[in-house]
Amino acid sequence: MNHTIFRNLLAMVLFAAALTLIVSGCTRPRKDYQPEQPFGFSHYLHAGQHEIACQYCHTSPAMGRHSSVPSLDICMNCHSMVSTDKPMIQELRKAYDEGRKIEWTKVHDLPDFVYFDHQPHVAAFRTQEGNDKPGQIQGVCANCHGQVNTMEKVSTQNEFNMGWCVNCHRENFAPTNCTTCHR
């Protein structure tokens, strides 16, 4: 074996060991976090039973860096007509008319030193079998968020820590150098 190859191999082994150490040291589990919400919104009812597409309410995951949680305007697109006799919808209407917001509690919230972008992920998983049809984005989101369309209340379905990100990047030949996620 020539020396250059050996040195490169050694460097690779050391780097892998360092990465493993860092990854195992950064295990901060976030799975099954399910905070209380200020208002009883059901994904099961909307995205499951009524099959409203994820991107109707979360307009940006496919395009931008951040996803978004819908404002009351989006709710009122339907609820100015749908179920207006129900007490909860009257509560929504009242908040809307008074210009108030619903302060949803964040379920997923990575530290600021982590760079995450929905766009390349949505683009990559769009090419998976069954996910390539327009409007069918649930399968794309499920890679990380699980079957949200079956949930009454959203909870985290994965660890959402560094080990989780890096493992999936390795499996999918996505970049694993530190500056991918720390910029």
If the CB atoms of residues 9 and 14 are measured against ligand HEC, the closer one turns out to be 14
**17 near ligand HEC (CB under 6 A):** no
What DSSP string describes 32-81? Answer: T-----SS---HIIIIIIT---HHHHS-STTTSSS--PPPHHHHHHHHTT
| CA dist., res. 22 & res. 169, Å (int) | 16
Q: Is 96 in the site for ligand HEC (CB under 6 A)?
A: no
Q: What's the CA gap between 62 and 140, in Å, rounded?
A: 10
Q: Are 75 and 85 in contact (CB under 8 A)?
A: no
Candidate residues 33, 44, 59, 78; the one interacting with ligand HEC per rule CB under 6 A = 78
Taking CB under 6 A as the criterion, the residue among 34, 77, 128, 136 binding ligand HEC is 77
Among 1, 98, 111, 127, binds ligand HEC (CB under 6 A): 111
Contact between 92 and ligand HEC (CB under 6 A)? Answer: yes
Among left, alpha and beta (phi > 0; psi -120 to 50; other), residue 135 is left
* Binder among 33, 93, 107, 155 for ligand HEC (CB under 6 A): 107
- Provide, rounded to whole angstroms, the least separation between the CB of residue 155 and ligand HEC: 9
Measured CA to CA, the distance from residue 31 to residue 38 in angstroms comes to: 21
Q: Which of 55, 50, 34, 28 is nearest to 105 (CA)?
A: 34
Segment 40 to 69, residues that bind ligand HEC, using CB under 6 A: 40-41, 43, 45-47, 50, 52, 54, 56-58, 61-62, 66-67, 69
The residue among 69, 145, 140 whose CA lies nearest residue 102 is 69
Residue 1 Cβ vs ligand HEC, minimum distance, rounded to whole Å: 26
Interface residues for ligand HEC in 130-159 (CB under 6 A)?
137-138, 140-141, 143-145, 148-149, 154
Instruction: Give 3 or 183: the residue with its C-beta nearer to ligand HEC.
Output: 183
